[in-house]
Amino acid sequence: MTELDELLARLVEEGGTDLVVKAGSAPHGRVGGRLQPLDAEPLDQDGVARLLTGVVPAARAAELTEVGETEFAHSVAGVGRFRVSAFRQRGTVAFMCHRVVPGLPTAEELGLPPVLEKICGEGRGLVIVTGPGGSGVTTTLCALVDHVNQTRSCHVVTIEAPIEYLHPDKRALVSQREVGTDTRSVAAGVARAIRQGADVLAVGAAGDAEAQRAALAAAEAGALVIVVMPALSAAEALVRVVEAFPEAERRRWRTTLAAVLRGVLSQRLLDRADGKGRVPAVEVLLGTAKVADCIAEDRLADLARVIADGEYHGMQTLDRALEQLARDGLVSVRDAVALADEPEELRLGLGALSTPSGW
């Protein structure tokens, strides 16, 4: 076991999720959401480099040297699997290892709305999963892929950077491609997926116009495309898709987006009130006729109201999700109000629960 593997084993023993290492400080672990130093000596630049020796794949080491950052997966027998993000800071190498919790969580176990399983059922179209960093969107993507894997006889192709969860074949055949190892870029992998017989395409990150263009084209060609994109809300995710294209092309891509969109989920993670982990609050937008009209007619500012009025179809606002979590006692009122888009309205909606005794 390498020196890094020993640190990761200690992290897991303490129930931690992340290991952060930089020159000049002792390695730190995130335990219970708090970053704290591990019982280890501070590391100099050579010490940090020594931890990574023999762990970084050759191609990723070259990428770190050339562009200053890289990501890869690392497995430790008997300990677990980790996503490693290495980067340069102040001229030295630092890195973070995030623990991938073993096993594939189901959508139900994650507390995701049942309607999400419906929009990932039979058919084609685009499903967007979004949220801020650390909100669990990668885990949600894997849960949706696993749902498809268990319920559909089809070919699933994933494009990931790096591969975190491993999907064994169930009803579906799952081909997992890692950016930089199996395909040169997200856009290239997505663009080729239809020719590779993909019925369902899961994309771990599509943050640029080229990748989004390829994802929209794949959905238009008949695949179900589930894609992670950076945004703070469902409406913002759609705005970012449209604005990623040159202005002269936006009308054409708005029309495509309106036609293929099946849904958007935007999630935030909150600490559980009982202290046993975290739970997502999920905003849900579905590709109804009203939503399609807003997109096609460039009325994206109206989407927040459409979501609020769309509960009959299975939509819900972030504040509605937060309110339900607080009423169910899963999260504290204080935490729910702190994340709300309209905190005072949520406080009023919760009534007696929002009094000091209910916090």
Q: How far is CA 138 from CA 39, 158, 294, in A?
A: 30, 12, 28
Q: Does residue 357 register a pLDDT over 60?
A: no
Which residues touch 355 (CB under 8 Å, ≥6 apart)?
Answer: none
What the chain holds in terms of domains, given with CATH numbers, is 3-100 (3.30.450.90), 107-316 (3.40.50.300)
Indicate the SS3 state at residue 146. Answer: helix
Q: pLDDT tens digit string along 248-275?
A: 999 999 999 999 999 999 999 998 999 8
Query: What is the rounded average pLDDT of the residues 317-337?
Result: 94
Query: What is the rounded average pLDDT of the residues 238-253?
Result: 92
* Longest CA–CA separation in the chain, Å: 60
Q: Does residue 111 register a pLDDT over 60?
A: yes
Q: Does residue 299 register a pLDDT over 70?
A: yes
Q: Does residue 359 register a pLDDT over 60?
A: no
Q: pLDDT tens digit string along 204-222?
A: 988 788 999 999 999 999 9
Burial of 163 (0-12, 13-18, 19+ CB in 10 A): buried
User: CB–CB of 202/228 below 8 Å?
Assistant: no
pTM summary value? 0.82
Query: What is the rounded average pLDDT of the residues 50-54?
Result: 89
